[in-house]
Amino acid sequence: MSTHEPVTTDPHEQHDQPETEGEQLPGPGSSESVTAEMHQEPDHGEDSYRGTGKLKDRVALITGGDSGIGRAVALAFAREGADVVISFLEGEDEDGRRTAQLVEDAGRKAVVVPGDLTSEDFCQRLVDQTVEQFGRIDVLVNNAAYQMVQPQGLADLTTEQLDRVMKTNLYALFWMCRKVLPHMPRGGCIINTTSVQSSSPSPELLDYATTKAGIANFTRGLAQTVAGDGIRVNAVAPGPIWTPLIPATMPPEQVESFGRQTPLGRAGQPAEVAPAFVFLASAESSYITGEVLAVTGGMPVTI
């Protein structure tokens, strides 16, 4: 019998609460490397993720793949053996290149395609470039999203912001799914990023929460539509995860307390979300479709 004590980590202590110091960052698309400007960069799994070949030789297309959860998913997919196409907003090229380097360091091909997903024409070009490069798309991760906190809720919410949130979070997801499916073989999968906001909406994120609820419902409906084609559709619902989007879109006092309301008492890290995407992309989840997998530090997702 082994005399070694098992190695366990209290989930409260797996990662420290980020040190924010009232941090504020420029909005999405306005900086060459938002991640590098953070006081404490997120953990994307650079030093911890170990692949075991779960996605060997698959082709994955990830929107919003330059930073945060998207970067962690790209890294994990590459270390599991996938080639990765990374889409991100123009102006975030340095972050995109850093993510691509992580993929290439794992011995896989990386293709970066900057552009604006609120344009249906760009969504078409993104799919066309992926198919030209690899001939097919095995995994689509719809991860790109936009949010902007409005402290007064509906009273401060402009039509311009509503349009941007809806087009980034919902229209682009609809376009990407429709354009990718003709190029997705049996055994392929789509993974959408929804949120704990889908069932527990914050008034200051009313538009964002509305889109995230729509994504959960779209996921379940599309899963039924394409199940006969051998394609699975699932979603991951993150809770408060420490990414550049947080200090770029929230006021300092909310950034300071971000994630402390969870039962685990801290913000999560992108590295803690990426394994959920790997699971849903791999054969280990072959009997799962139309599901929403919550990664929230204990906050319930009930939609």
Angstrom distance (rounded) from CA 54 to CA 212:
28
- Pick from 238, 214, 244, 176: nearest CA to 31: 244
In this prediction the pTM is: 0.91
Asked if residue 42 lies in contact with residue 68, where contact means CB atoms within 8 angstroms, the answer is: yes
Q: Per-domain residue ranges for the chain?
A: 35-295
pLDDT values of the chain reduced to their tens digit, one per residue, 303 residues: 444 555 678 888 888 776 666 554 555 554 545 676 666 789 999 999 999 999 999 999 999 999 999 999 999 999 999 999 999 999 889 999 999 999 999 999 999 999 999 999 999 999 999 999 999 999 999 999 999 989 888 999 999 999 999 999 999 999 999 999 999 999 999 999 999 999 999 999 999 999 999 999 999 999 999 999 999 999 999 999 988 878 877 777 778 788 889 999 999 999 999 999 999 999 999 999 999 999 999 999 986
- What are the φ and ψ backbone dihedral angles of 88, each rounded to 5 degrees? -160, 165
Asked if residue 44 lies in contact with residue 105, where contact means CB atoms within 8 angstroms, the answer is: no
Residue 191 pairs in a beta bridge with: 141, 234
Domain 35-295: assigned CATH number: 3.40.50.720
C-alpha distances (whole Å) from 106 to each of 74, 102, 135 are 10, 6, 21
Angstrom distance (rounded) from CA 5 to CA 106:
32
- Pick from 243, 171, 250, 176: nearest CA to 214: 171
CB within 8 Å of 81: residues ≥ 6 apart: 51, 53, 54, 55, 56, 57, 58, 108
- Pick from 138, 164, 11, 148: nearest CA to 82: 138
Phi-psi region of 153 (alpha: psi -120 to 50; beta: other; left: phi over 0): left
Instruction: Spell out a b/e string for 67-80, using b for 16 or more CB atoms within 10 Å of the CB, else e.
Output: bbbbbbbbbbbbbb
Verify whether residue 208 is a known catalytic residue: yes
pLDDT at 186: 98
Asked if residue 125 lies in contact with residue 68, where contact means CB atoms within 8 angstroms, the answer is: no
The secondary structure of residue 211, as a DSSP letter, is: H
pLDDT at 2: 43
Catalytic residue among 49, 171, 208, 287: 208
Torsion on CA atoms 62, 64, 70, 76, rounded to nearest 10: 30
Angstrom distance (rounded) from CA 196 to CA 237:
6
Give the other-Cβ count within 10 Å of 99's Cβ. Answer: 29
pLDDT at 39: 65
Query: What six digits make up the tokens of 231?
Result: 């394609």
